[in-house]
Amino acid sequence: MSEMHAESVAYVRDTMLPPAAPPNQQLGALRWLRVNLFSGWFNTVLTLLGLGIIWFLFDHFWPWLSHSVWKADSVQECREIIAARYGEGATGGCFGVIRERWHQYLFGFYPRAEYWRPLMTLGLLFIAITPVLFSVNPAIRRWVLAVTGLITLLLMGVAEVPDWAVLLMWALIGTALLLGEYAPQRLLIFTLFYPVVGVWFLWGGSLWFPLMLLAGFGVGYLATRLVPPRHAGLALPAGIAAALIWWLFLAGPVAGLLGDLAPARLRVIDSNEFGGFLLAMVIGVSGIAMSLPLGIVLALARRSDMFLIHVFAVIFIEFIRGVPLITLLFVASLLLNYFLPPGTNFDIILRVIIMVTIFAAAYMAEVIRGGLAALPRGQFEAADALGLNYWQAQRLIVLPQALKISIPGIVGTFIGMFKDTTLVGLIGLFDPLKGISDFVRSNFAWKGIYWEPFIFVGAIFFVICFSMSRYSMYLERRLSREHR
C-alpha cells in the first residue's frame, strides 16, 4: 500500500487476483520432530526428560511382565518356576491366578452351569443399545453389532456354555444384523423389552413376573387414554394411579396365574451369588440407564419457576451431592431395613442400584443444568413465540441442544459412576476389585497376590470406560457435523 501511496492516492484495481496455491510446506518426519519435540532448548529438555521417564518405567516393569507365569496353581509354584527359569532373585508376574479364577472375576458365585444366562444378557444388551447409540449410520451399526456379537460368542466359548445357547446367540446376532439393515425401528422395540428379558435371565424365576411389571406402564398409558378429553388434566394422575394399583395388587396374582397356565421358569439365582464384573455391569448399566432421565428431570426442576419444585430439586441435589456415595451405600445395606416394614426383604442389588442412580442423577442434573444455562435465551423465546408449550419446547428445542452441549460431562459422570460400582465391595458385595480379590486371596494358594488381579480388573475397566469415552467423542463429532 505504501508504495502505491507514494505514486498517487487514487487507485483502482483493474484485474481481480485469482486465488493462488499456498507456498510449499516442508513435510516429513524430521520436520514433525523438530516442530513438536525439539523446537527450542526448553522443549528439547522436556522431551529428553519424558523419554527418560518412559525408559525408567519400562525398564522396571518389563522384566516382571516378561517373566510372567500363566500355568501355576499357587503363588509358591509361580515363584519356584520363575526362580528356575530366570535365576534366583528374579521377579515375575503370576497370572496363573487369572487362569484359575477368571470366572469368579467375571461372574462372582453365579452357578457355572448357568453362565450362558449372563452372557446371553450381555449379548442382548449389545443388541438393545446399538440401534439407540448408532441410530444414524447403518455401516457403523452393522460393524458394532458384528464386533460385539463376536465378543459375546468368544466369551461363550471361553465360559464353555452349552452348544444350544451358542447357536441361539448366533441366531439372535444374525437376526439383529438383518433387522439393523432393513428395519432398525424393530430393534428399538426389542430395546423396550430388554430390561424384562435381562432381569429374567439374570435372576431367573417366572418370566411372567417382570413382564407383568412392564405391563404396568401399558396399564398406566391405557388409563390416560380412557380419560375423556374434557378432563384432560386428570389423565396423568389417572395413569399413575392405575399403574400403581396394577403393580401393588394385580401384577403378582396375574403373573402367578399365567405362570400356572404357561410356565416359563428359570432356576432362581439369589442376589448374593452375583459378583465380579457381572455385578459391576448390572449396577452400572441400570444406573446409567436410569440416572440420565432422572438427571434431566432434576435439572429441569431446578430451573423451574414453581417454587416448591425448585426447592425440592435444590435440596435433593445438594444433599445427595454433599454426601459420599459410600454413605448412601451403607444406608442401602443397613439403615434401610430399619425404615422398611419388618419382614420385607428388599433385594440388596436393587437397593444399591437405587442409591447409585440417585447419586449419579444428582451430578447429572448439575451437568445438564450447565448445558441448559449455555443455551441462548433467544431459543426459549423463539419456542415460546411459536406457541410451543413447556414440555414441547423442552423436548424439541431445549433438551436436544442442552444435552449435546453436556455430552462430555454426561459421559464423564457415567464413567465415574461405573468405576464407583467397585465401592459396593465395602458393604459386603463381591465387586471385582476388592470383593472378589479378597476372596481369592483368602485361599492359601493365592495368599499375597495383589498386582496381577489389579492389572486384570483394571484392564477390563479400562476397555469399558475407554469405549464410553470414544463413543462420546464420536457423538460430539457427529452432532457438530450435523448441526454446524
Partner 1 sequence: MSDLTASYATDTPHLPGMSDEIAIEIRDMNKWYGDFHVLRDIDLTVRRGERIVIAGPSGSGKSTLIRCINRLEEHQAGQIVVDGIELTSDIKNIDKVRSEVGMVFQHFNLFPHLTVLENCTLAPIWVRKVPKRQAEDTAMQYLEKVRIPEQANKYPGQLSGGQQQRVAIARSLCMEPKIMLFDEPTSALDPEMIKEVLDTMIELAETGMTMLCVTHEMGFAQAVADRVIFMDQGQIVEQNSPQEFFNNPKSDRTKLFLSQILGH
Contact residues for partner 1 (CB under 8 A)?
376, 378-379, 381-382, 384-389, 392, 396-397, 400-401, 404, 479, 482-484
Output 40 or 378, the one with its CB closest to partner 1. Answer: 378
Q: How far is the CB of 461 from partner 1 (least distance, A)?
A: 34
Cα–Cα distance, 360 to 366 (Å, whole number) = 10
Cα–Cα distance, 10 to 80 (Å, whole number) = 94
Torsion angles phi and psi, residue 266, rounded to 5: -120, 155
Output 142 or 404, the one with its CB closest to partner 1. Answer: 404
Output 35 or 236, the one with its CB closest to partner 1. Answer: 236
Note whether 276 and 107 are within 8 A (CB): yes
Q: How far is the CB of 26 from partner 1 (least distance, A)?
A: 35
Cα–Cα distance, 202 to 279 (Å, whole number) = 10
Output 294 or 375, the one with its CB closest to partner 1. Answer: 375
Output 218 or 400, the one with its CB closest to partner 1. Answer: 400
Q: How far is the CB of 479 from partner 1 (least distance, A)?
A: 8
Output 207 or 403, the one with its CB closest to partner 1. Answer: 403
Output 7 or 305, the one with its CB closest to partner 1. Answer: 305
Residues 6 or more apart whose CB falls under 8 angstroms from that of 479 comprise 404, 407
Q: How far is the CB of 396 from partner 1 (least distance, A)?
A: 6
Residues 6 or more apart whose CB falls under 8 angstroms from that of 14 comprise none
Query: Facing residues of 396 across strands?
Result: none
Q: How far is the CB of 476 from partner 1 (least distance, A)?
A: 13
Output 13 or 377, the one with its CB closest to partner 1. Answer: 377
**Cell numbers at 363, concatenated:** 451430578
Q: How far is the CB of 385 from partner 1 (least distance, A)?
A: 4
Q: How far is the CB of 44 from partner 1 (least distance, A)?
A: 43
Output 73 or 381, the one with its CB closest to partner 1. Answer: 381
Note whether 436 and 405 are within 8 A (CB): no
Dihedral (C-alpha) 184, 202, 349, 302: value to the nearest 10 degrees?
10
Cα–Cα distance, 124 to 172 (Å, whole number) = 8
Note whether 455 and 61 are within 8 A (CB): no
CA angle 436, 440, 445 (to 5 degrees): 175
Output 367 or 398, the one with its CB closest to partner 1. Answer: 398
Residue type at position 214: L
Q: How far is the CB of 480 from partner 1 (least distance, A)?
A: 10
Residue type at position 306: M
Note whether 65 and 82 are within 8 A (CB): no
Q: How far is the CB of 369 from partner 1 (least distance, A)?
A: 19
Cα–Cα distance, 361 to 346 (Å, whole number) = 22
DSSP string, 464-480: HHHHHHHHHHHHHHHHH
Which among 157, 105, 156, 108 is positioned nearest to 452, based on CA atoms?
Answer: 105
Output 352 or 403, the one with its CB closest to partner 1. Answer: 403
Note whether 287 and 417 are within 8 A (CB): yes
Q: How far is the CB of 383 from partner 1 (least distance, A)?
A: 8
CB atoms under 10 Å from CB of 441, counted, come to: 17
CA angle 139, 141, 145 (to 5 degrees): 120
Cα–Cα distance, 471 to 448 (Å, whole number) = 38
Q: How far is the CB of 313 from partner 1 (least distance, A)?
A: 21
